[in-house]
């Protein structure tokens, strides 16, 4: 998260997207959720939120550049409601959300926005909530939300909420391809055949020393268990991944449960050259993993 300005009880904050370098599904839990192993990486595509304290004790949410709802079903609203219940004499707030992160693409935009609301309201209110309380709120909002309480790279286990952040020296450019359709996370998990996962690879993933992994060997250790399912239902995504490699990507993958596909390139020029092969068909971004400051 990057807070760019605080003035008269207003915060402007950039909420970055993420990609999953790897996503392995280990097993289904008794509560119906799944245990996973994933490698999160925040990237320089972001939504912008302006959050202002009011005096009417109400929560107001306005969404710009998107058709997503602005009612109680929105994670930003739910995050603000959690804070309002936890803080005595909550004064009310107004949230304006400018969407840039594609929805339903596996990039975590909604989760990142919710984390931004938790962070910003806690700061505007003078930090009445400790880090543990904020983290527990994030977990209740969704398994990806805790990752966005800070940015960088992290190994996520459990449902994704158990996080081990690590420093990396990776130097690559990311070409992000976002088709004009979304894929439901609930659909993906409910249709995933658990027999497709590979326990041996999960053990290998746990044992890696992340700082030492070079981009050119990502394909040996990183894998997304949802690709087989998603590519069967959306074969155009499989073609995009293959084309990314044909264009010189050193690694390409589905992000999360999709629908975004990304390729990693050694230089900005290579990523821009590859982008020209897709620009007329899908929404594209050429970005780095350096989040906005």
Q: Cα–Cα distance between 19 and 274 in angstroms, integer?
A: 19
Number of DSSP helices (H) and strands (E) in the chain, helices first: 9, 11
Question: Around 58, how many Cα atoms within 13 Å sit in the side-chain half-sphere?
Answer: 4
* C-alpha distances out from residue 203 to 39, 53, 157, Å: 14, 47, 12
For the 170-287 domain, the top CATH level (class) is alpha beta
Tell me which residues are annotated as active site.
18, 144
Q: How confident is the model at residue 216 (pLDDT cuts 50, 70, 90)?
A: confident
Q: Is the pLDDT of residue 293 over 50?
A: no
- What mean pLDDT is predicted for residues 183-203? 69
For the chain, give every residue range classified as CATH 3.30.70.890. Answer: 170-287
The count of other CB atoms within 10 Å of the CB of residue 122 is 20
Q: What is the mean predicted confidence (pLDDT) over 130-156? A: 94
pLDDT tens profile 130-139:
999 999 999 9
Percent of the chain having pLDDT more than 70?
89
219: pLDDT confidence band, cut at 50, 70 and 90? Answer: confident
Position 168 confidence tier, pLDDT thresholds 50, 70, 90: confident
Query: Using one digit for the tens of pLDDT, what is the confidence trace for 87-128?
Result: 999 999 999 999 999 988 889 999 999 999 999 999 999 999
pTM: 0.89
Q: What is the pLDDT of residue 31?
A: 77
Helix (H, G, I), strand (E, B) or coil at 125: coil
Helices 75-86, 131-141: crossing angle, 10 deg rounding: 140
The number of C-alpha atoms within 13 Å of 41 and in the hemisphere containing its C-beta is: 25
pLDDT mean over 261-279? 95
Q: Which has the minimum average pLDDT: 35-49, 52-66, 198-212?
A: 198-212
Mean pLDDT of the chain: 88
pLDDT value, residue 166: 84
- Into which CATH architecture does domain 2-164 fall? 2-Layer Sandwich (3.30)
Location of structure tokens 């996962």: 197
Residue 206: pLDDT band with limits 50, 70, 90? low
Q: Is the pLDDT of residue 75 over 80?
A: yes
CA–CA distance, 121 with 113 (Å, rounded to integer): 12
Region(s) of the chain under CATH 3.30.230.10 = 2-164
Average confidence (pLDDT) over 66-70: 83
**By C-alpha distance, which of 35, 36, 2, 33 is closest to 16?**
2
Q: How many residues does the chain have?
A: 293
The stretch 70-79 carries a mean pLDDT of: 94
- In which band, very low, low, confident or very high, does the pLDDT at 28 lie, cut at 50, 70 and 90? confident
Please check the confidence at residue 209 and state whether its pLDDT lies above 70: no
- Checking if the pLDDT of 196 tops 80, the result is no
């Amino acid at each position: 998260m990057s807070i760019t300005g605080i003035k008269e009880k207003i915060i402007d904050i950039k909420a970055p997207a993420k990609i999953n370098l790897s996503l392995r599904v280990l097993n289904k839990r008794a509560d119906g959720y799944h245990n996973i192993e994933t490698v999160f990486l925040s990237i320089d595509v972001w939504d912008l939120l302006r959050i202002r304290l009011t005096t009417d004790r109400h929560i107001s949410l306005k969404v710009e550049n998107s058709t997503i709802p602005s009612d109680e079903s929105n994670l930003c609203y739910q995050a603000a409601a959690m804070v309002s219940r936890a803080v005595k004499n909550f004064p009310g707030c107004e949230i304006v959300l400018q969407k840039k992160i594609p929805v339903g693409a596996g990039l975590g935009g909604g989760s990142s926005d919710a984390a931004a609301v938790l962070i910003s309201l806690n700061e505007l209110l003078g930090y009445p909530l400790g880090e543990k309380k904020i983290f527990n709120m994030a977990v209740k909002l969704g398994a990806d939300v805790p990752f966005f309480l800070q940015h960088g790279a992290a190994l996520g286990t459990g449902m994704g909420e158990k996080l081990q952040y690590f420093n990396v020296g990776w130097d690559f450019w990311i070409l992000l391809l976002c088709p004009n359709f979304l894929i439901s996370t609930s659909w993906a998990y409910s249709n995933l055949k658990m027999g497709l996962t590979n326990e041996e690879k999960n053990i290998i993933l746990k044992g890696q020393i992340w700082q030492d992994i070079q981009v050119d060997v990502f394909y040996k250790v990183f894998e997304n268990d949802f690709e087989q399912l998603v590519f069967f239902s959306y074969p155009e995504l499989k073609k995009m991944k293959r084309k990314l490699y044909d264009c010189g990507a050193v690694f390409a993958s589905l992000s999360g449960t999709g629908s975004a596909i990304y390729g990693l390139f050694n230089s900005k020029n290579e990523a821009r050259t590859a982008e020209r092969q897709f620009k007329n068909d899908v929404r594209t971004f050429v970005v780095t993993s350096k989040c906005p400051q």
